[in-house]
Structures are given as structure tokens and as C-alpha cells.
Amino acid sequence: MNWRGRSVLPLLIAVLLLPALACSSPSKRIEELSTSPEPDPGISADAIHIRDSGFVWDGETLSYAFTAENTTADKSMEEAVVQVNVFGMADQPIASDSGIIDFLLPGQVVAFASHLTLKEEPKRLAFDFAVADQTTVEETRAFEVSPGKFEPTNYGGRVVAAIANPYQRELRRLNVVAVLRDQDGKILNGGSGILELLPSKGESTVTIDILGVPPAEPAGVDVYTMFSAETVFRLE
């Protein structure tokens, strides 16, 4: 099942500070708003590093989550494609998934969660990235997120958290991802959703559904907030 990853672009710093400009694509819009509109001649996905990952398999569905970091100091990765490869108990490929990360800000750690139908028991996941474009970003801002609260359900669970807007402008359709961790910090599972509205310098509460019962009671919950291409359009 294809999914869209969730990421940010305060390069949206530029979006938040400059007047609206027309555009025909997310990449063009970001390029116009960049403090350095010249595209980087050497586009590489090597700077995107997987930090950790985890999954749950119930015999029919594989639910997984992972975190990734843009290790560059000033480069925003745009339209990064992620290929998820699933290996079975014999360490042979048995399934795959894919998605697009709209934006990865310099130094930003993002999280992703999705699921796919799978009848064979998985052993491990592997991830590969390809990046369509890069843009120089001189400043980023972090969202303040309250500790996520996990509530179990018969299908897995849900996470509720409050998110604060660091910008003096209303934001819409932000991507949010919740990651469940055990007492050792290992990822158990995760889920993703959309925060429809975040008031200027205000706070909103988001609820994220988690598909798949985690193998143990989560000891902690991390919630990641990221801009999407739809967020950029909403700001125009």
C-alpha cells in the first residue's frame, strides 16, 4: 500500500514571511521561496539516515514505524522517495512498500508509520531513499509537542497530544506521526494522521490511530509534527 511520508519545510520560514506567490508544483513553490533559489548540483540521499525502526505483525497485516534524520547542516531534502523492503524468516524478500517524504529540513528527525497486507512472518525491514531536489535553508523552527498519551483499543490504540505553533500564521493540514516505544526506547509500533488546523501562535490537540496491538505496553510515546506539500499550498 503506497503512503505519503510526513515532513516539514521551514523554508516555510520563507513561506511564513514572504507574500503569496503562484506555483505549479511543490518543488517550484519551495524553490521560489528559498533564500537560495539555485538548485544544488549534487543531489544525494546519503545524508538521510535511519535512526531506528520497529514493526508489529498479526498474521495478516504488517504495521511498521521508523525515524529518519537529515544530517546536513543547511539542505532541505524535497520529495524524497523511500523504498521499504520486507524480508522473511529465511532472510529473503517477501514484500515491499513505498512512499514520499515531502520535505526533510536540515538536521530534522522525522517519523513515519504505515501498514500493508502480509501473510508471511517478517524478520526485518530495510530502507532506501532517493531525493528529487534540495534547497538551502538558513533557519528552522521546532514545534512544541506535549508528551503523547496512549489509549489501547481493540484494533491497536490511539495517541492524543497537544501541539503548539511556533509561527505567527495559521497552519493547516500538518502531518503528524506517533511512535510507541518500550522501556528501552525500542520502537514497538506507530501511526500517522493529519492535523487540520493549528492557530497562529496557538495550540491544537491531535488524535492519531495506531493499527496493530503492540507486543508490550508502551513506556513512552513520541509525536512528530511535519509540514507537507498541502501545508505549503494552504499558506498561499
How confident is the model over 37-78, as pLDDT tens digits? 454 455 788 999 999 999 999 999 999 999 999 999 888 998
Check: CB of residue 50 under 8 Å from CB of residue 28: no
Q: Write down the pTM of the prediction.
A: 0.80
Check: CB of residue 2 under 8 Å from CB of residue 97: yes
Give, as one character, the DSSP assignment of residue 235.
T
How confident is the model over 155-188, as pLDDT tens digits? 999 999 999 999 888 999 999 999 999 999 999 9
Can you give the pLDDT at residue 167?
87
d(C-alpha 65, C-alpha 179), whole Å: 7
With CA atoms as reference, report the closest residue to 99 among 123, 83, 85: 83
